Amino acid sequence: MRAYVTGRAGFVGSWLVEHLRAAGDDVQSCDVEVDVTDAAAVAASVVPAAPEVIYHLAGLAHVGESWSAPAAVFNVNALGTLNVLQAAERCDPPPRVIVVSSAEVYGRASSSRALDESSELRPVSPYAASKVAAEFLGLQAFLGEGLPAIRVRPFNHVGPGQSDAFVVSALARRIVEAERSGGTVAVGNLEAARDFTDVRDVVRAYRLLALQGEPGEVYNIASGRAVTVAAIAEQLVGLALSPVRLEQDPSLVRAVDVPILLGDPTRLRERTGWMPQVELADTLQDVLGYWRERLG
């Protein structure tokens, strides 16, 4: 299968490319990562590649930072998606397009129950709003143009190689630094609960949906289990090579945070048979191993 990946140099993109190649897919590439906000550049890169599927991962992904640059986030995440969809429409035949959204579109849920794809969208951050827009551009391309676009809403995904701008990787890095000096580990809001899935399971889901997903549909990618940041921090501390302790840092607490995000992956499982394979404990051990190697 000929695959084109935007954002392939990023955390998830690099894992996806590795997975696709291991599965025998022909991953189309160019020398320089295309700027998705440049419509002409996107079309010039995508159309000659003649992909059978486009995985659109490129975007600005940090929820907290979106508050300081909402226009830039919307430009990359929404307008960039429009450019990719329009380039796909120019291909002959048009490829399937996996439009990667985010569970953040659900926002502040009215209950702690697992969210399914019919749950109300209540975005509370500029990032989440940009992903709602990107999703509906994908839906419009399907309904209005017949483009076989499939939307996916991954819940929190973690793994080795993730930036320390994200909570699990940030905690792991601080713990690796503290286990060498015997210091403390700064933490933010420990009460937030998230549905964590290993990035290697997430990219498996993307490819399965490219093969078996129903165009026009939307699918959650989730474990179906919510874990508090406190529980993650305790597990990481338990895996430290020397005693470390946690210390609250108010500067790490977001002004607006969603208390719980828990996903229902039933639709994905029923369509593709996907189930998470990597245990959270193994993921956390791998993330610590990544930072121990990275920090020397």
Q: Over the stretch 41-85, which tens digit does the pLDDT of each residue have?
A: 999 999 999 999 999 999 988 787 878 889 999 999 999 999 999
Enumerate the β-bridge partners of residue 159.
none
pLDDT of res. 281: 96
pLDDT (tens digit per residue) in 261-290: 899 999 999 999 999 999 999 999 999 999
The predicted model gives 140-168 an average pLDDT of 96
Cα-Cα end-to-end distance for the chain: 39
Decide if pLDDT at 253 tops 80. Answer: no
pLDDT band for 203, please (50, 70, 90 cuts). Answer: very high
pLDDT of res. 247: 83
Nearest to 154 by CA among 94, 91, 104, 220: 220
pLDDT of res. 15: 97
pLDDT of res. 262: 95
| d(C-alpha 113, C-alpha 3), whole Å | 36
pLDDT band for 173, please (50, 70, 90 cuts). Answer: very high
pLDDT of res. 252: 66
Which two tokens mark 255? 């002004």
* Mean pLDDT of the residues in the chain: 92
Are residues 219 and 151 in contact, defined by beta-carbon separation less than 8 angstroms? yes
| d(C-alpha 193, C-alpha 266), whole Å | 20
The predicted model gives 207-234 an average pLDDT of 96
Range with lowest mean pLDDT among 7-16, 177-186, 254-263: 254-263
Decide if pLDDT at 111 tops 70. Answer: no
The predicted model gives 1-22 an average pLDDT of 96
pLDDT of res. 31: 56
Q: Which domains does the chain have, with CATH numbers?
A: 2-158+196-225 (3.40.50.720), 167-192+226-261+271-294 (3.90.25.10)
| d(C-alpha 295, C-alpha 282), whole Å | 20
Decide if pLDDT at 254 tops 80. Answer: no
pLDDT of res. 25: 98
| d(C-alpha 192, C-alpha 173), whole Å | 20
